Amino acid sequence: MFIGHYAAAFSLKSVEKKASLGMLFIAVQFVDYLFFILVPLGVEKFRLVENYTAINHFDLYFYPYTHGLLASVIWAVLIYGLWRYMPSFKAMGNGRVALVMGLAVLSHWFVDLIVHTPDLPLLGDNSPKVGLGLWHNFMGTILLEVALLIGGLLLYLRSTKGVGALGKYAMIIFVVINDLSLYDGGDRAV
């Protein structure tokens, strides 16, 4: 799941208007950014396996530091702490903003749970791994991602008031363009 994570950002922005939507977009993808930093360093690992799932070719076999439930909680608490206590982040909001930022990071694991194969560790790599496996169903994954994204976008749009034509329609255009650009001819997500 990729664009489905942005549904959490839109939803959380509708709950806390002082939170930056851009920072929420980063927060919901934070553990993926870390993953793609740690992979070249050899800390976490994946391999490309043709047709591993209907959605992608990724066998995500070792990533307990970014995608484990315990790790996700730790990253969420760390981001909460940064937003709550670091002067440069603290200036961007209050304790509620810090909480929303932490929840945005944590939301990644729960959204991944729906689509991933059973590869999400609960504690560490040797702990049980979970995942409901929706990635094995291409159309089911696409429909869920689009439904989540539209639902989150609607919550966001109901909680904000755009100024001018750009303010009213830019986010809808952004979502449509990003949604369409993630799929290469309907064959496989890229």
With bands split at pLDDT 50, 70 and 90, how would you rate the model's confidence at 129? very high
With bands split at pLDDT 50, 70 and 90, how would you rate the model's confidence at 181? low
Q: Does some domain include residue 32?
A: yes
Q: Does some domain include residue 187?
A: no
The predicted-structure confidence for 87-97, as pLDDT tens digits, reads as follows 877 767 689 99
Express as a percent the part of the chain with pLDDT over 90.
74
Q: Does some domain include residue 33?
A: yes
Is it the case that residue 165 has pLDDT exceeding 80?
no
Enclosing domain of residue 51: 5-181
The tally of CA atoms less than 13 A away on the side-chain side of residue 150 is 7
Q: Does some domain include residue 189?
A: no
- Mean pLDDT, rounded, for 115-139: 97
With bands split at pLDDT 50, 70 and 90, how would you rate the model's confidence at 162? low
Q: Is 15 exposed, middle or buried (0-12, 13-18, 19+ CB in 10 A)?
A: middle
- Mean pLDDT, rounded, for 159-180: 69
Looking at every residue in the chain, the average pLDDT score rounds to 89
Q: Does some domain include residue 186?
A: no
Which of 108, 98, 126, 107 has its CA nearest to residue 32?
A: 108
> What's the total number of domains in the chain?
1
Least confident of 18-27, 108-117, 126-135, 176-185: 176-185
Conformation bin of residue 176: beta by default, left when phi > 0, alpha when psi is -120 to 50: alpha
